[in-house]
Structure 1
Amino acid sequence: MAVIGYARVSTCEQTLDLQRDALKEAGVTNTYEDRASGKTTDRPELVHCLKALREGDTLVVWRLDRLGRNLQDLIRIVNDLEKCGVMFKSLKESVDTGAPTGKLVFHLFAALAEFERELVSERTVAGLNAARARGRKGGRPQRLDAKQQRAALAMMKSREMSVAEISRHFGVSRSTLYSLQAANKQ
């Protein structure tokens, strides 16, 4: 059962010394280190670290924000570790999923993250409904106004010009014209 560490700093100017020292003091035998922003998904050493972990191992980080890009990402990673029988420990926040209290804290994080996602979704739907009630329609603005649409449809119906020529004339794609035609057949 290995105790493996993961450390990350956001920029090349930052140093990993503080994290290295804390991980070493916690009994970490092998540390994987990335120099990448937390927002980026490209963290090659984290990928190697996660592949190296085996059932019964413990992954240790200095702080929670060193592992996950956001709360959802952190919860996903820790849940994946748990499924593989790997414990997780964060030194700064004193979270240890090898202990019942640590598991409870993590489940609370997960519940709060789920609650936050639902609130965002609810607010989005409410905002869209309010906009519709005021006569606003979502989506991209129409490329052609009503007069241009009528002219394009008439040109397509007369077949004097090809659809490609009509699309160049109005500065739109052929698929826009076909969509316009299909919407007006109803």
Structure 2
Amino acid sequence: MGKTCVYLRVSTSIQTTDNQLVSLQNYAQQMNFEISHIYRDEGVSGTKDKRQGLDEMLKDAVKGKFNQILIYDISRLGRSLKHLINILNDLNKANVRLIFVQNGIDTSNTTGQMMFQLLGVFAEWERNTIVDRVNAGLDRARLQGKKLGRPTSINESVINAVKLLRNKNLGIRKIATELKLGVGTVIKILNPSNSTMVKTY
């Protein structure tokens, strides 16, 4: 099967890529793949187009250092549909196969490429739907004269949306921008007991 590389990513510095690596190593062993390179992006949001580990991997793909990439799931590679498709096109040109273990997607065939693009569409649609719904609620609250400066005065759906977007590995500043909230408000929602300890990555 040639040389295999692994790409790992987590959004925050308090998370670890170790669990992803163990899962991918187990998969590689089952499939008799030999892992030759490991690329990591730790504490980096999937919404960022520029990532050191990803950029290095794409350069090495062009150089022919491997011919297939193992990734835990599609969200580790990216959350923007446009960015995902651009990566797929670049890897196709380099004749590099993408395998998303959790999603069961293999881009070496037409069905796999179609599923890859569909998952990207749904991931982006889900995120945009959440943001639109919450912003509509915030706009209604503002029109009603409600103060939105503290978690205790925010609708429960807003608090849930902040936590949901965080679980989807968005950084605090990105969540604040998407939901039109202050960074401090997002921090207090995520960690009301000790908000000064939360980093705004």
TM range (shorter): 0.5 to 0.7
Partners of 2:119 and 2:9 lie apart in 1 by: 22
Partners of 2:78 and 2:114 lie apart in 1 by: 19
Following superposition, the deviation at residue 106 of structure 1 comes to 3.4
Larger Cα-atom Rg: 1
Partners of 1:55 and 1:97 lie apart in 2 by: 18
Name stretches of at least 5 consecutive residues in structure 1 with no aligned partner: 117-186
Does the 8 Å contact 1:63/1:92 carry over to 2?
Answer: yes
C-alpha RMSD of the superposition = 2.3
The percentage of counterpart residues that share the same residue type is 33
* TM-score, length basis structure 2: 0.50
Are positions 1:7 and 2:8 aligned together? Answer: yes
Does the 8 Å contact 2:49/2:83 carry over to 1?
Answer: no
The answer to which structure, 1 or 2, has the higher relative contact order (CA under 8 A, 6+ apart) is 2
Partners of 2:5 and 2:53 lie apart in 1 by: 12
Divergent runs of 4+, >3 A: 106-110
Name stretches of at least 5 consecutive residues in structure 2 with no aligned partner: 29-34, 126-201
* Code of the aligned partner of 1:91: V
Total equivalences in the alignment: 113
SS in 2 for 1:92: coil
* TM-score, length basis structure 1: 0.54
State the partner residue of 1:60.
70
Following superposition, the deviation at residue 29 of structure 1 comes to 3.3
Following superposition, the deviation at residue 109 of structure 1 comes to 5.5
Distance 1:25 1:11, change over 3 A: same
**Deviation per residue, 1:87-141 (Å, 9 max, x gap):** 111111111012343133235568x58xx8xxxxxxxxxxxxxxxxxxxxxxxxx
State the partner residue of 1:129.
none
Are positions 1:47 and 2:52 aligned together? Answer: no
Following superposition, the deviation at residue 42 of structure 1 comes to 3.4
Following superposition, the deviation at residue 68 of structure 1 comes to 1.6
Distance 1:55 1:65, change over 3 A: same
